Amino acid sequence: MPRRAVITGWGRCVPPVTLSNADLEHLMDTDDEWIVQRTGIRNRRLSHVEATDLAELAARRALACAGMEASDLDLIVVATCTPELLCPSTAAMVQDRIGAIGSAAFDLNAACSGFVYGTSVVAGLIQAGFAHKVLLIGAEKLHYAMDYRDRSTSILFGDGAGAAVFEPSEDGAGVLAVDLGADGGKGSTMVIRSMGSQGEPGPTNDPETFRLHFEGQAVFKIAVQNISASARRVLELAGLTADDVDLVVPHQANARIIESATRRLGIEEDRVFMNIAELGNTAAASIPMAISDALDAGRVQPGDTIVLTAFGGGVTWGSIALKWGDRTQPVGVHEGELPDTDMTVFDLLRENLDFYAPLHADEPPIT
């Protein structure tokens, strides 16, 4: 059997503060029915700590699940488009915190496709024998870039982190095929300008420039087309058909996108895992968080054929076909939690609301 990369540990970190659709009704002209009908989202989580803290806890949980010490790792990769700092990388900070002495570490940014892109990198290194034990994390603190009176963006996104440990396998389990793609010409449909070097040196204080730019209708069409096409290609590369798939774990972007894309593939609802209703779109964190939730829910069995598929800013897309290994229960459990907070959701949103207030000076006051 060829050497492949198989997932042996998994974990997630869900921030404790919930932003519900009812909360959003106080901030903008919207309601629960309107949001659910268009997105499938009822709640999303906001983090009171940094993305690095989320990544660290997800990492510790994944390592405990795999029964592995951090010192055993060869490499840590963090997929994120909202790093706490550009330098040092989130991966380097996680490496230091968990004690993965001597491991390599780097960040990867493919927006919402980040975990799929990261899996392709990790799988390639393990298959080539250049790495043996790798920790891949998806972590995002997206709420900082949201204008919470703009219902085209802020109803969608939440914060969180998920992680997976990959190890070599020679029993047929692991990553079977990879499909990746991008179309930079459509990159203007999803833009976060605030973290780049564009413009004069110095901080960006213009709310219009800072906030997420998102063209919802254009993104919907591009996402449905490219997710379904990518998933179809990866199945062909693996020598499989849609009938062979036990579970699709898609990026949790929008329930309507997921339903439309999997319908094109001929995959029924009962073979698709979604947790978007309670977590929203967590970008690169969504697939590893969904993998962890799917395992907790008993939706993954040993030897299952699973497709991971995603679409994100850039624009990027990608799919992974993999065969699950022989273990679906954790070896151990990490008992740590995030620091407690007594902040309400509106406490967490106050800085965002104040910063973007000039854009809404002519609108009714927030109730």
Asked if 284 and 336 touch (Cβ cutoff 8 Å), the reply is no
Paired tokens of 156: 């969608």
**Catalytic residue selected from 21, 226, 275, 281:** 281
**Catalytic residue selected from 112, 143, 254, 352:** 112
What confidence score (pLDDT) does residue 321 get?
98
- Spans of the chain below 70 pLDDT: 188-191, 193-205, 207-216, 219, 366-367
- In the chain, the N- to C-terminal Cα span, in Å, equals 63
The sign of the CA dihedral 78, 80, 82, 85 is positive
- Locate all alpha helices (DSSP H) within 238-335, ordered by sequence: 255-265, 276-279, 286-296
Predicted model pTM: 0.95
Asked if 42 and 246 touch (Cβ cutoff 8 Å), the reply is no
Q: Cβ contacts of residue 339 below 8 Å, gap of 6+?
A: 48, 49, 53
Q: What is the pLDDT of residues 324-365, one digit of tens each?
A: 999 999 999 999 999 999 999 999 999 999 988 888 887 777
* Number of C-beta neighbours around residue 205 at 10 A: 9
Paired tokens of 345: 């959701």
What confidence score (pLDDT) does residue 220 get?
72
Q: Is 267 exposed, middle or buried (0-12, 13-18, 19+ CB in 10 A)?
A: buried
Domains of the chain by start residue, with CATH: 4-327+347-357 (3.40.47.10)
Q: For residues 315 and 164, what is the distance between their CA atoms, to the nearest angstrom?
A: 24
- Let me know if 132 is a catalytic residue: no
- Let me know if 13 is a catalytic residue: no
Strands 17-20 and 4-13: unpaired
Q: For residues 278 and 43, what is the distance between their CA atoms, to the nearest angstrom?
A: 5
- Let me know if 87 is a catalytic residue: no
3-state helix, strand, coil in the chain (%, to 5): 40, 20, 40
Pick the closest to residue 60 from 246, 321, 337 (CA basis): 337
Q: Cβ contacts of residue 41 below 8 Å, gap of 6+?
A: 21, 35, 155, 156, 254, 255, 276, 277, 280, 281
Q: How many residues are recorded in the chain?
A: 367
**Catalytic residue selected from 109, 143, 226, 251:** 251
What confidence score (pLDDT) does residue 186 get?
74
- Locate all alpha helices (DSSP H) within the chain, ordered by sequence: 21-24, 32-39, 51-66, 90-98, 114-128, 207-210, 216-237, 255-265, 276-279, 286-296, 345-356
